[in-house]
Amino acid sequence: MGEGHLYGPGSMRIRRAPKAVVTVATSVVGVTLCSLALSSCGGSGGAKGVPSTTSARAVGTSTTGVADGQILSAWLAAQQAFHEAALTSDPSSPELTATMISPVLDSVRANLAQFQGEGDVARGPTTYGNPMIVDTGPAKVEVRSCVHGQEIEVSEKTGKPVPGVLGMATYELVTSIMQSTVNGWKLADQTVEPGKCGGN
């Protein structure tokens, strides 16, 4: 796993949302949320094993169906769950298990526990841009979005940003794997590539 922002299966962070406005039914429009730094930043592990059977569908278009809306709603819920847990670096938040499964769940918990041990917490908003479903399979779907991650890791003691990537705002290409389970769609894996969106 690379040195990504608040994300990664090994360094997974979710971001907070400044009062996000999410409309989910047959679409999700104008989503502003906490960025969830999940999965390996810049690493592999996002789209593996997911057959490309459909073209990309932008969120909010008339072609986005009810099933797509459910998947994107679950994706956003996972981002929000991390966001909330990151505010206090709480690896035991029940919302994490409600919205994620392994391997990303294990990584998120490990990262939050590490942040907690170091006395760090997340602060700041993230804009999720325009998430799209880009690949689908029988039980897995790939969601991709260009995220403006302004949520950073700060020292709870001093209030100052931590050194390195975790303490800096950036644009990130987030690729997530959503998996169908008996309890609905869950976030299963995610890769984050800082600097891949160039302010888009």
d(CA 32, CA 60): 14
d(CA 142, CA 23): 20
pTM of the full structure? 0.72
Sign of the alpha-carbon dihedral angle for 197, 108, 80, 154: negative
Q: How many residues does the chain have?
A: 200
The residue type found at 197 is: C
Domains, the chain, ordered by start: 40-194 (3.10.450.50)
Partners of residue 191 on adjacent β-strands: 40, 175
Each residue's pLDDT, cut to its tens digit, for the chain (200 residues) gives 333 445 433 234 443 333 333 333 222 322 322 334 443 333 333 332 222 233 345 443 333 578 899 999 999 899 889 888 998 999 999 999 999 999 999 999 999 999 999 999 999 877 777 889 999 988 999 999 888 777 889 999 999 999 988 888 888 899 999 999 999 999 999 998 888 886 64
194 touches 184 (CB < 8 A): no
The residue type found at 198 is: G
23 touches 32 (CB < 8 A): no
Beta-strand relationship, 40-41 and 184-194: parallel
